[in-house]
Amino acid sequence: MNKSLPATDSKYGAAVRGAGEWAAANLGGGGLRGAPVLESLIREGARLKSDIETKTARLRRINLALCESAEFKEDLRTAHLAGAGYQVTVRLHDNVTWDQERICEFRGMLSEEKFAQLFKAEYVPASKKQIDGFMAHADPDLAAGLRSCMNIRPAAPQVVYEKAK
């Protein structure tokens, strides 16, 4: 562990706490303390990350080929394939983003009641930088009020592997 940021003081809390015990139980030895164990974890992590990226790219190509081979009935976005002892379901999806200005224009075409059935108001921060600045400089009661609006869950730490030069 990084001595300047011990696991117990980490903002990731329980996600990081116990990593040494996990390593000792699952990798043998004294956890993450020894350089050989750390070297081994870095090497294996980098190899696994590379394997996952390669296999994910291959799976995407396979899925696209299956999608092109599938026959979708008129107006349906689901097709079924069978082979090699597997039943395969292929579903087409769309990612939709909404143009907020056009929604505001569309709002004038409907009654408020009907519009409220279709859309809900959602408050999202303008930017993390603005929120952080407000928290740092606002009256403590206001900062506490804003903090009470936050649901913070620790996420998995992001680890990036780059080949050393």
DSSP structure string for 22-83: HHHHHH-SSTT-SHHHHHHHHHHHHHHHHHHHHHHHHHHHHHHHHHHH--PPTT--EEEEEE
DSSP-derived 3-state class of residue 146: helix
What does the pLDDT read at residue 3?
44
What are 19's two structure tokens? 């990593």
What does the pLDDT read at residue 5?
41
What does the pLDDT read at residue 31?
53
What does the pLDDT read at residue 33?
63
C-alpha–C-alpha distance, residues 100 and 102, integer Å: 5
Average pLDDT, consecutive stretches of 10 residues, N- to C-terminus, the chain (165 residues): 44 53 57 78 94 95 93 92 92 89 92 93 90 95 93 83 78
DSSP-derived 3-state class of residue 115: helix
C-alpha–C-alpha distance, residues 37 and 89, integer Å: 43
Domain ranges for the chain, please list them: 7-120
Asked if 32 and 20 touch (Cβ cutoff 8 Å), the reply is yes
For 89, the enclosing helix (H) or strand (E) is: strand 86-91
Asked if 66 and 90 touch (Cβ cutoff 8 Å), the reply is yes
What does the pLDDT read at residue 25?
59
Q: How far is CA 127 from CA 133, 134, 148, 151, 158, in A?
A: 10, 11, 18, 16, 21
